[in-house]
Amino acid sequence: STNSGGTYTLTTDLSYKNFFAAFDFFSGPDPTQGFVQYQALEAATSQSLVGFFEDTQSVYMGVDYTTKDAAGRASVRLESKDTFNQGLLVVDVRHMPDSTCGSWPAFWMVGTENGEVKWPDAGEIDILEGVNDESRNAVTLHTSAGCVVDNATTPVVGATGEVQMPYLGTMATDNCDVAAVDQDKNVGCSIKAPEPAEIKGVATYGTEFNNAGGGVYAMEWTDQAITVWFFPRNSTGIAQFSSSSNATSGSNSTAGSSLDASTFGTPLAKFSGSGCDFTQRFKDLKIVFDTTFCGEWAGKVWDQGCAAKTGVATCQEYVQNNPEVFANAYWEVGGLRWYQK
């Protein structure tokens, strides 16, 4: 089997009404130099940047889409109070920030030491991330020196004898070291999802993802590998994650209280190989949601399409002066759960 397998049991349910209390609102300057003003809990609440969708029992994390502020667009960056080690993370994303020039949304995990972020030494796992008008998710690991993963493109024989590729995406870079000499600064090791057209109905990011109703991302971290699966909203495999919610408590359902990753099928991305110690390189990870703008990625590649598309020379100028285009730059998260073996 391509997967390490074994049954996982739900240990932390951060869904719906449990969600915001489990996170700190980061309100410092953006470490990635984005054109953003991250808001503390009280300010975010008063500006309606966070809230609930009662009908779908999900949470909302959005950005300001009415103000032109030269200091940056108001947004949120939530970092979990708890940290996690080796297990299975499952998130039900009903909507993510759409594919808008200037945007840089991410759902990710970052390593800590004694409660403080220790980057890149304690690792980073980007589960769902992209910039601008992108249509494909990029799954990426960032580490210090000494973590190189296998570019496995050889078909493997699955548990039931079928031949399958080890993962659906394409590995763009295989050295997870943020300072790797033969890669651009801070690229890490990255697997790019296929174009939606290549795999019928699998839209992994942004506007097309939202139009398809989003889906469930699952990330398994073992001592052997870090693996990410995507289950589109209309896929058969998504049923195993649903909490058969009733009006009073969507999170107390027995559905989804245990999961077997060996049944998940071919992942979107898998990082493995003897060139990386997944136990030592990733430690005490926080879960993070954020939406930033421009900065070291979205801003850096602005002239690769968005400058021409928008007719605006710089990312910052566009983001500052066009608040209305960010009305759909929000996360709607229906469930967030951590499982352990």
CA distance 243 to 236: 15
Inform me whether the pLDDT recorded for 253 exceeds 70. Answer: no
Q: How many domains are contained in the chain?
A: 1
3-state secondary structure 210-269: HHCCCEEEEEEECCCEEEEEEEECCCHHHHHHCCCCCCCCCCCCCCCCEEEHHHCCCCCE
Residues with catalytic roles? 124, 129
Share of the chain above pLDDT 90, in %: 86
The Cα–Cα gap between 34 and 309 comes to 20
Q: In the prediction, which pLDDT does 284 show?
A: 99
pLDDT above 70 for 304? yes
183-217 per-position pLDDT tens digit: 999 999 999 999 887 877 689 999 999 999 999 99
Domain that holds residue 129: 7-340
**pLDDT the model gives residue 247:** 35
Residue 1 lies in a domain: no
User: Is 2 part of a structural domain of the chain?
Assistant: no
pLDDT single digits (tens) 126-161: 999 999 999 999 999 999 999 999 987 677 776 677
In angstroms, the CA 88 to CA 12 distance is: 11
pTM reported for the whole predicted model: 0.94
In a domain, 62, yes or no: yes
| Residue 323 covered by a domain | yes
Cβ–Cβ contacts within 10 Å for residue 317, how many? 15
Is residue 13 one of the residues assigned to a domain? yes
Residue 37 placed within a domain:
yes
Distance of CA 20 to the CA centre of its chain: 17
d(CA 297, CA 166): 28
User: What is the CATH classification number for the domain harbouring 71?
Assistant: 2.60.120.200
Asked if residue 93 belongs to a domain, the reply is yes
pLDDT band at 255 (very low <50, low <70, confident <90, very high): low
Handedness of CA 255, 259, 264, 269 (dihedral sign): positive
